[in-house]
Structure 1
Amino acid sequence: MIYDCAIIGGGPAGLNAALVLGRARRSVALIDSNRPRNAVTHESHGFITRDSVTPAEFRRIAYEEVRRYPTVDHLQTEVVSVDKTESGFEALDSTGLRIQARKLILATGVKEIFPEIEGFYPLYGKSLFNCPYCDGWELRDQPLVVVSESPSVFHTAKLLLNWSKDLIVCTNGKASLPDEKKEWLQSKGILVMEHSVAAFIGQNGRLKHVRFADGTQVPRTGGFVIPQFAQSAPFGECLGCERTELGGIWTDKLGRTSIPGLYSAGDASYFMPSQVVFAAASGSRTAMGVNMDLTEEDFK
């Protein structure tokens, strides 16, 4: 069987793309390895009608809705390679199954690369996070820390003042802030710490202190650690897709990549902002692009 479209990735982007294509009566293979990036997250926020939903519940509801459409097949497996073929694309999974489709959507998302700091992972998703819009409300008015090795920490610090005025900015030993920006932050009562962060100290998922390499220890109850992002799957690169300046897969407004018949949706294509609502919208828009192109081909 050759599907109209295969979708690699069962996050919000892939699920919404499958929903739209299923409703358009397209045959779809939704391929999902069931390893969501936000599995560590206790709640997802900022999506109307689904604010505070757990990632597991979001996926349960989404799959329940997608499975209503008989032309959508859910394949819980891991894709190991993708090739361009005369009829479209072929995805090979870890069991040797070959999945063929006329069109292919890469909704594989991104992976975060965090600074190597002792004690981070036991606190991540509980009192340390990476997105103020996702979790700033839950940490409002608390003594917070933001750790970033990027010059964008200045923007993040300004943003976090909406949630808490008790803020420490840490560059983790990187000279990422010019003097004028440090002075501006300090004028707003924000302490700038340029020593490397040695450890996050907490208990039962709750941050208590931040310890620096010089021995300084500062009490904090929560904060944000800003990661770098990278593609979580190599398929776009292997197929020769053009990239954006940030490393995302370049697409037009309807999710088309530089490779004919290949599309990308969600975090894999734009990297930031990394939110459920953006990813779902991207999946919907990309599915419309796929259906439009299939319609034109069939009409001709």
Structure 2
Amino acid sequence: MIYDCAIIGGGPAGLNAALVLGRARRSVALLDSNRPRNAVTHASHGFITRDGVTPAEFRRIATEEVQRYPSVDYRQTEIVAVNRSEAGFELLDSDNLRIQARRLILATGVKEIFPEIEGFHSFYGKSLFNCPYCDGWELRDQPLVVISETPAVYHMIKALYNWSKDLVICTNGKQTLSEEQKTHLKSKGITVEERPIAALVGQNGQLEYVRLADGTEIPRTGGFATPTLVQSVAFSDELGCERLEIGGIKTDEWGRTSVPGLYSAGDASYVMPSQLIYAAADGSRAAVGVNMDLTEEQFA
């Protein structure tokens, strides 16, 4: 069998793409390794009718919905290779099964790389997060730390200032802010701490303080960190996709990449806030692009 479209990735982008294509009566192979990036998150916010849903519950509901459409074939498997073929694309999974599809959507997401700080992962997803729009409300008016080794911290802190005025920036020994930026932040009562971080300390996922390398302790009850984002799989590079300067896959308004027949949706393009609602909408956009292109091909 040759599917109309294969989708690699069963997060919100891939699931919504499968839903739209299933409703368009397209045959779809939805292929998911079941290793979601947001598995550590206690709740997801900002998605109307699903505010506060756990990632596991969101995936359960969405998976049930897409499987109502008989043309959607949902498989929990890991894709290990992708190649161009006469039909379009050939995918190989970890069980050596080959899957053929005319079109392919990469909804593979990204991996987050955080600074190597003792205790960091004990708090990430519980009292330490990466998106103020997702978790700022829960940490409103608390004494917060923002951990970042990149210049992006300046934009992060300006956004976060809406949720809390009690902020400390820790650059972990890096000189990422200009003197002008530091002066401006100081005028807002925001402390910039450039000494290295030794550890994050607390209990049961609740941050209590940041310990610097010289022993200084900064009491904080939560915070945010800015990760470096990288593609979770190498398929886009192997297929020759053009990339954005920030590293995401470059697409047009319908999710088309620079490779004919190949589309990208969700965090893999990372030109948007990392939220369920953005990723799901992007999956819908790419699915409409696939359906339009298949329709034009059939009519031609």
Task: Please report the TM-score for the alignment, with normalisation by the length of structure 2.
Answer: 0.99
Contact 1:110/1:271, CA 8 A, preserved across alignment? no
Residue 147 (structure 2) aligns with: 147
> Any gaps of 5 or more consecutive residues in structure 1?
none
The answer to whether 1:215 aligns with 2:192 is: no
Alpha-carbon offset, residue 154 of structure 1: 1.2
Residue 41 (structure 1) aligns with: 41
> Any gaps of 5 or more consecutive residues in structure 2?
none
Contact 1:263/1:286, CA 8 A, preserved across alignment? yes
Residue 98 (structure 1) aligns with: 98
Query: How many Å separate the matches in 1 of 2:216 and 2:64?
Result: 51
Residue 245 (structure 1) aligns with: 245
Q: Which amino acid aligns with 1:134?
A: C
Aligned residue for 2:6, secondary structure, equals strand
Q: Deviations over 1:1-53 (max 9, x none)?
A: 00000000000000000000000000000000111110000100011111000
Alpha-carbon offset, residue 179 of structure 1: 0.7
Contact 2:43/2:52, CA 8 A, preserved across alignment? yes
1:219-230 superposed matches below 5 A: 219-230=219-230
The answer to whether 1:62 aligns with 2:62 is: yes
Query: How many Å separate the matches in 2 of 1:269 and 1:154?
Result: 22
Residue 25 (structure 1) aligns with: 25
Aligned residue for 2:120, secondary structure, equals coil
Residue 236 (structure 2) aligns with: 236
Task: Please report the TM-score for the alignment, with normalisation by the length of structure 1.
Answer: 0.99
Aligned residue for 1:211, secondary structure, equals strand
Alpha-carbon offset, residue 68 of structure 1: 0.8
Contact 2:152/2:226, CA 8 A, preserved across alignment? no
Q: Which runs of 4+ in 1 moved over 6 A?
A: none
Residue 107 (structure 1) aligns with: 107
Query: How many Å separate the matches in 2 of 1:252 and 1:158?
Result: 30
Contact 2:272/2:278, CA 8 A, preserved across alignment? no
Alpha-carbon offset, residue 263 of structure 1: 0.5
Alpha-carbon offset, residue 180 of structure 1: 1.0
The answer to whether 1:124 aligns with 2:124 is: yes
Alpha-carbon offset, residue 171 of structure 1: 1.1
Residue 134 (structure 1) aligns with: 134
Q: Which amino acid aligns with 2:37?
A: R
Residue 294 (structure 1) aligns with: 294
Alpha-carbon offset, residue 103 of structure 1: 0.3
Aligned residue for 2:121, secondary structure, equals coil
Alpha-carbon offset, residue 270 of structure 1: 2.7
Contact 2:10/2:32, CA 8 A, preserved across alignment? yes
Residue 82 (structure 1) aligns with: 82
Contact 1:229/1:271, CA 8 A, preserved across alignment? no
Residue 205 (structure 2) aligns with: 205
Query: How many Å separate the matches in 2 of 1:25 and 1:155?
Result: 43
Aligned length: 300
Q: Which amino acid aligns with 1:45?
A: H
| RMSD (Å) for aligned C-alpha atoms | 0.7
Alpha-carbon offset, residue 161 of structure 1: 1.1
